[in-house]
């Protein structure tokens, strides 16, 4: 329990000590956060309100948007608040919560992406069995299993991380509490339980990655056999966004965690986590809505209805004002 008595707060790495650059960082992160917030909320609202999108693929996409909102909300607001108030501190309990929530949202994101690969495999390789295999109950069970199992995983991972004693200072060389950076503050090397859990995590992530790759090999093999060019294009258009999102998630995360941890803060140490913690939640709604006609139609209807309602309300108020003046 020495870490709880010796470390009461951590100091996060700031993007700059210059005041106007801190304000610039706040503004840039605010814009990125609002873009991500707006994009994911539009996806969630469009899928929830449009009955034509009540299909397994869009159900999992809505889960993905909820997770993206959660993951970016764990890291960005605290960093923005620190820049605005010219501070770097985060409480010990706040750091624990940030680690748990970020691991939870990122891991569940990966689990949902794996389930979405299976959904696309069944839809294209076994279309006659799709409605039976991917029925409503099965989809809810798969999504619930992903969420619930990752809660336990995140709790164990966070518990192992904060069970160590921190005597290497309390300066975290990152703009949020990140496990690799926290482990550099440990008094000694990670204990056997943490090493074992890290090996388990790598094996689990690798298994999901292999499953996704095998699924897409089967998908592309089946699609290339389709005689109709239009059908091939339609099949590719439903799979390509998911494949891009998976590649973005895996490549940025792998690069971040496999690169050697620098002993001194560098620009690269700050920029790489931005790639895997900020970029995917912001880009995912754009990727999914660009090549999906059904989703684009639902979003157009949603935005158009909002604008129509707003214009209708403005017209009503003008009519009421004109009526009152004429009286």
In the chain, pLDDT over 70 holds for what percent of residues? 83
pTM of the model: 0.83
Report the range of poorest mean pLDDT among 107-116, 149-158, 239-248. 239-248
Report the range of poorest mean pLDDT among 5-14, 206-215, 225-234, 318-327. 318-327
What residue ranges do the domains of the chain occupy? Answer: 2-291
Angle between the N-to-C axes of helices 19-49 and 56-84, in degrees from 0 to 180, rounded to the nearest 10: 160
Across residues 240-253, what is the average pLDDT? 79
**pLDDT confidence of residue 36:** 92
Q: Could you give the 3-state DSSP secondary structure of residue 155? A: helix
Say how far apart CA 149 and CA 290 lie, in whole Å. Answer: 32
**pLDDT confidence of residue 168:** 66
**pLDDT confidence of residue 16:** 76
Say how far apart CA 67 and CA 145 lie, in whole Å. Answer: 15
Question: Quick one: tokens of 100?
Answer: 């748990």
**pLDDT confidence of residue 291:** 65
Length of the chain measured in residues: 327
**pLDDT confidence of residue 152:** 92
Q: Could you give the 3-state DSSP secondary structure of residue 242? A: helix
Q: Could you give the 3-state DSSP secondary structure of residue 198? A: helix
DSSP state at residue 60 = H
pLDDT band for position 318 (50/70/90)? very low
Which CATH code fits 2-291? 1.20.1070.10
**pLDDT confidence of residue 243:** 82
């Amino acid at each position: 329990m020495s870490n709880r008595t010796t470390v009461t707060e951590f100091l996060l790495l700031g993007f700059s000590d210059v005041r106007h650059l801190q304000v610039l960082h706040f503004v840039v992160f605010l814009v990125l956060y609002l873009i991500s917030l707006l994009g994911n909320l539009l996806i969630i609202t469009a899928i929830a309100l449009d009955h034509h999108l009540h299909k397994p693929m869009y159900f999992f996409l809505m889960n993905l948007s909820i997770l993206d909102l959660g993951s970016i909300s764990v890291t960005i607001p605290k960093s923005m608040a620190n820049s605005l108030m010219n501070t770097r501190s985060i409480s010990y309990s706040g750091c624990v919560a940030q680690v748990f929530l970020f691991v939870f949202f990122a891991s569940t994101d990966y689990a949902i992406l794996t389930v979405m690969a299976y959904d696309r495999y069944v839809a294209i390789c076994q279309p006659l069995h799709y409605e039976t295999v991917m029925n409503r109950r099965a989809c809810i069970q798969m999504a619930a299993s992903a969420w619930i199992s990752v809660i336990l995983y995140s709790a164990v991972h966070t518990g192992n991380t904060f069970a160590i004693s921190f005597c290497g200072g309390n300066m975290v060389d990152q703009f949020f509490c990140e496990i690799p950076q926290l482990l550099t503050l440990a008094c000694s090397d990670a204990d056997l339980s943490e090493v074992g859990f890290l090996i388990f995590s790598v094996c689990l992530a690798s298994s999901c990655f292999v499953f996704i790759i095998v699924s897409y090999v089967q998908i592309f093999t089946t699609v290339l056999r389709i005689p109709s060019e239009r059908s091939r294009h339609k099949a590719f258009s439903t799979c390509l966004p998911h494949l891009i999102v998976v590649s973005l998630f895996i490549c940025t995360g792998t690069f971040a965690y496999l690169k050697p941890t620098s002993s001194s803060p560098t620009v690269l140490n700050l920029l790489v986590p931005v790639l895997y913690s900020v970029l995917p939640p912001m880009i995912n709604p754009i990727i999914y809505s660009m090549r999906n006609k059904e989703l684009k139609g639902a979003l157009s209807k949603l935005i158009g209805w909002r604008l129509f309602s707003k214009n209708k309300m403005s017209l009503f108020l003008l009519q009421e004002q004109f009526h009152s003046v004429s009286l």
